[in-house]
């Protein structure tokens, strides 16, 4: 029995983590086995890489190329250690970010060669691809407001990715819109500027038909 692989993507402040938690709780209440993961991370090795990428005080000199390779090292471990076995067991796997984030952040945001980015992603994931992707987007202005507000509430948790300038995040937003345009069957875009309840309802409207396929 094959499981279902769902990924959530979005720019900063789009509320992905909140929506994943709400959706996973609803699916579990329905009797489904749900595995929630995050990138980078999701395995002991991946969590160490996550710290190096985002929170370490020794990462200021990290190059975009090193960032790209570390992201995909974490991803390669996650795919083989967790995602593939869980899907083989028929679980619903929900991942907070996957390879679309690399295209948007390292490809568009860091302005690395997109062909190189895609080649490294392919090496990391092989044929393990999301069945569906929910892309939660807010405008760059709203994203910046929410990002700054979040930083103010977490003064002791440095996040290197959030230290980039506005131009970086505008390129990330553009990258996501290009991804959605290129793969409309897989990537479903949602306006995440509404209330938590409004976005939750929109998410469920998209997810429920895919979940029903598991029981038919």
Structurally, the chain folds into a number of domains equal to 1
Task: Report pLDDT for 155.
Answer: 58
Looking up tokens 């990715």 gives: 161
Please write the tens of the pLDDT for every residue from 54-112: 999 899 999 999 999 999 999 999 999 999 999 999 999 999 999 999 999 999 999 99
Task: Report pLDDT for 140.
Answer: 84
Task: Report pLDDT for 151.
Answer: 66
Q: How confident is the model at residue 213 (pLDDT cuts 50, 70, 90)?
A: confident
Please write the tens of the pLDDT for every residue from 114-155: 999 999 999 999 999 999 999 999 988 888 887 777 766 665
Please write the tens of the pLDDT for every residue from 14-32: 999 999 999 999 999 999 9
Task: Report pLDDT for 144.
Answer: 80
Task: Look up the CATH number of the domain holding residue 64.
Answer: 3.40.50.300
Model pTM score: 0.92
Cβ neighbours of 208 (radius 10 Å):
13
Task: Report pLDDT for 163.
Answer: 83
Joined together, the tokens standing for residue 211 give: 């979940």
Identify the domain containing residue 52 by its residue range. 4-215
Task: Report pLDDT for 25.
Answer: 98
Please write the tens of the pLDDT for every residue from 157-198: 678 888 888 999 999 999 999 999 999 999 999 999 999 999
C-alpha distance across the termini of the chain, in Å:
12
Q: How confident is the model at residue 156 (pLDDT cuts 50, 70, 90)?
A: low
Task: Report pLDDT for 182.
Answer: 98
Task: Report pLDDT for 152.
Answer: 65
Backbone angles phi and psi of 134, in degrees to 5:
-100, 120
Sign, CA torsion 95/126/43/28: positive
Helix (H, G, I), strand (E, B), or coil: what is residue 136? strand
CA distance 106 to 121: 11
């Amino acid at each position: 029995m094959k499981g279902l692989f769902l990924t959530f993507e979005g720019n900063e402040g789009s509320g992905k983590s909140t929506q994943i938690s709400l959706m996973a709780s609803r699916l579990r209440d329905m009797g489904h086995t749900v595995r929630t993961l995050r990138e980078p991370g999701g395995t002991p090795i991946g969590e160490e890489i996550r710290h190096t990428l985002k929170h370490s005080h020794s990462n200021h000199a990290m190059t975009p190329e090193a960032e790209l390779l570390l992201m995909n090292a974490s991803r390669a471990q996650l795919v083989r250690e967790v995602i593939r076995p869980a899907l083989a067991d028929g679980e619903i796997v929900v991942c907070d970010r996957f390879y679309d984030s690399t295209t948007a952040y390292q490809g568009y945001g860091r302005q690395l060669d997109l062909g190189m980015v895609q080649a490294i992603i392919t090496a990391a994931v092989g044929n393990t691809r999301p069945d569906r992707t929910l892309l939660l987007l807010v405008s760059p202005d709203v994203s910046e407001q929410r990002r700054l507000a979040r930083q103010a509430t977490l003064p002791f948790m440095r996040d290197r990715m959030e230290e980039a300038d506005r131009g970086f995040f505008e390129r990330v937003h553009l990258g996501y819109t290009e991804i959605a345009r290129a793969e409309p069957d897989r990537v479903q875009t949602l306006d995440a500027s509404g209330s938590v309840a409004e976005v939750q309802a929109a998410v469920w409207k998209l997810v429920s038909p895919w979940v029903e396929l598991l029981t038919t």
